[in-house]
Amino acid sequence: MWGKSSEKSWASSTTLVAAGTEIKGDICFRGHLEIEGKVTGNIIAEAGQQAVVRVMAEGCVMGEIDVPTVVLNGKVVGNVYSSEHVELAAKAVVDGNVHYNLVEIMRGAEVNGNLVHQAAATATSGKNVDESHSDNSDIGGVPSANT
């Protein structure tokens, strides 16, 4: 028991940022992360891992979220990237874009940005999708006059 580690134990682990707690810096995790306090930094799931982040009603994230499953009922100031599922509960406020594969939005949720649908394979690395048009030859679906 003591000397053994398994992937299953990581998958079922939960980390809590309790109310009244403030973390400054990025968080990289796997398993479950529940935020009741404030995080100033990016929240990133380990590559190839199943992960869930929940921002509770009093929780706040000042940074980007890049996690396969995201459940929001608090505030996020930054973009959200999800390769699987985003749930925006009634008290959710997102000041940024939401990149999703599946989205569920409850009455009262607020998104001050764009909802961007992406296939599951590209949603986690969705931050780079817009950067692939760095030559500006095709902005907003309209070819530029320079091509």
pLDDT digits (tens, 9 = 90+) for 100-143: 999 999 999 999 999 999 976 554 444 543 433 333 333 334 44
Hey, how many other C-beta atoms are within 10 angstroms of the C-beta on 11? Answer: 14
Dist CA 112 CA 102 (whole Å): 18
Q: Which residue has the tokens 């030559």?
A: 135
Query: Which residue type sits at 37?
Result: G
pLDDT (average), residues 90-105: 98
Tell me if residue 11 falls in helix, strand or coil. helix
Hey, how many other C-beta atoms are within 10 angstroms of the C-beta on 45? Answer: 26
Provide the terminal-to-terminal Cα distance of the chain, rounded to the nearest Å: 64
User: Residue 11: its pLDDT value, please?
Assistant: 53
Dist CA 101 CA 103 (whole Å): 7
DSSP conformation letters of 66-133: E-SEEEESSEEES-EE-SSEEEE-TT-EEES-EEESEEEE-TT-EESS-EEE--HHHHTTGGGTGGGG
Tokens representing 108 are: 């009262």
Q: Which residue has the tokens 């929940």?
A: 54
pLDDT digits (tens, 9 = 90+) for 46-63: 988 889 999 999 999 999
Query: Which residue type sits at 76?
Result: V
Which pTM was predicted?
0.76
Tokens representing 100 are: 């999703």
Closest CA to 42 of 64, 15, 17: 64
The domain segmentation of the chain, as residue ranges, is: 8-111
